[in-house]
């Protein structure tokens, strides 16, 4: 058996030629790469640079958008009350004219009527901007709309837990409470 193993080993060694790689052939094979592989690499490289360029442009646009909206928010907060002041300025003028007229007026009734007219004009202007008064008297106490100043004994059982008196009116701006009504609640 040892003879057969040696014979097989000799046959294997004889059948497989052992040769050292030739460096010149390897270099030639690398240089003979198909042109499609070289162009494919260039195409991929170009696509990568285009994608990077698009990314940088998009990032820059977003950064500019973010800065612009921040600037607009600052400007908006500075001029947020401009609309309401434009509405109130004519009323201020009316008050000034009323004060001047009251200095020389001899009739108190005319001055009162003028003040009532200015008050109504002022109230209507605020209502147009979304300001509404709360009607609290006689309503059930609600902590979402009322601030209880004190409790008093209710004059009758029907007023227990309800607003008996209103010390300061509450106001809503477009449905949101901007000032709670200060009330007295029946106990």
Q: Where are the alpha helices (DSSP H) in the chain?
A: 2-15, 23-31, 35-78, 82-104, 108-128
Q: Which residues pair with 176 in a beta bridge?
A: 173
How many CB atoms neighbour CB 77 within 10 A? Answer: 9
Domain boundaries, the chain: 79-129, 133-187
Q: What is the mean pLDDT of residues 158-186?
A: 88
- Phi-psi category of residue 130: left, alpha or beta, with phi > 0 → left and psi -120 to 50 → alpha: left
- Is the model more confident about 41 or about 82? 41
Residue 8 pLDDT: 46
pLDDT tens digits, 59-114: 999 999 999 999 999 888 877 777 788 888 888 888 888 888 888 878 888 888 88
Q: Which top CATH class is 133-187?
A: mainly beta
pLDDT at 61: 95
pLDDT, tens only, 119-135: 999 899 888 888 899 88
């Amino acid at each position: 058996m040892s003879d057969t193993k040696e014979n097989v080993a000799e046959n294997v060694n004889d059948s497989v030629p052992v040769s050292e790689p030739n460096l010149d052939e390897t270099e030639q094979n690398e240089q003979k790469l198909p042109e499609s592989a070289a162009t494919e690499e260039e195409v991929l490289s170009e696509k990568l640079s285009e994608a990077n360029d698009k990314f940088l442009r998009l990032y820059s646009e977003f950064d500019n958008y973010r800065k612009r909206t921040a600037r607009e928010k600052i400007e908006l907060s500075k001029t947020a009350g401009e609309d309401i002041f434009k509405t109130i300025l004519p009323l201020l003028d009316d008050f000034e004219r009323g004060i001047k007229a009251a200095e020389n007026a001899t009739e108190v009734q005319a001055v009162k009527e003028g003040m009532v007219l200015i008050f109504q004009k002022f109230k209507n202007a605020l209502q147009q901007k979304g300001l509404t008064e709360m009607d609290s008297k006689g309503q059930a106490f609600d902590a979402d709309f009322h601030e209880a100043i004190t409790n008093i004994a209710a004059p009758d059982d029907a007023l227990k837990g309800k607003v008996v008196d209103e010390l300061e009116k509450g106001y809503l701006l477009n449905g949101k409470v901007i000032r709670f009504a200060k009330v007295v609640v029946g106990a």
